[in-house]
Structure 1
């Protein structure tokens, strides 16, 4: 029998027909300075900007980023690329409210300070040790290095706005959470 779901109280074990085709498309983070955040996500994490949408009447811009394989056929035409972007999985939306970059005291809540709420996003990497060397070479700020704390082989770094990013190597996690 194929895997469908782990079962816990409250889990619906049957996928409702009405939800077939639903896709978790993106997660949004608010950013202060697009130039700084785009440099981090495009250089340090290798993401590509798929689309930028500006909303002058509301004074904000949206940047949609993803890890795109070289083999993927991303449409060049703007409308087709917008449609393609909103049909993908694992997109990161960076929202810039205009003017925040001009206020040196402005800061977004990272979700990990009190009161806690949002926690982090996560990147899986093929080689955690290599990723750590890359982050070190790029002066990335750590919350936790892989050798620190009780959870070994898991790192947490911070983006320019202080959001936490978990870094994992899937092959090192086969025993994670087992007694």
Structure 2
């Protein structure tokens, strides 16, 4: 028996704002979308164009407040082949929320407050 990653899911308050952020900050593009017949939810799957792993964004029509992300350290992580320019872009976007120069990494926040780790290609 074997298992492989398919996707990770996060819930988002403003789907368009999140789609714009993930494309600008990380180059992720929509690869498929599912809209419920009743219109009460939309699922959008984003891909990096390289791996098969996807990020699923869930938008709920009736959700009207920011998500409580809790106190855990859940985060996504991305490796970049151009760490210096990625850092510069994210700094200009104002989305860097934590830096750890000793480890050579930093984190950015998405519009809903999810943390995303940026790692240089080693």
**TM-score (structure 2 length as normaliser):** 0.89
**More RCO (CA 8 Å, sep 6+):** 2
**Partner residue, 2:82:** 127
Kindly indicate which of the two structures has a greater share of residues assigned to strand.
2
**Partner residue, 1:138:** 93
**TM-score (structure 1 length as normaliser):** 0.62
Residue 47 of structure 2 corresponds to residue 96 of structure 1? no
**Partner residue, 1:78:** none
Bigger Rg, which one: 1
Residue 95 of structure 2 corresponds to residue 108 of structure 1? no
Question: Which consecutive unaligned segments of at least 5 residues does structure 1 have?
Answer: 1-17, 70-87, 172-179
What RMSD in Å do the two structures reach over aligned CA positions?
Answer: 1.8
Residue 145 of structure 1 aligns to a residue whose secondary structure is: strand
- Runs (4+) of structure 1 moved beyond 2 Å? none
Residue 57 of structure 1 aligns to a residue whose secondary structure is: coil
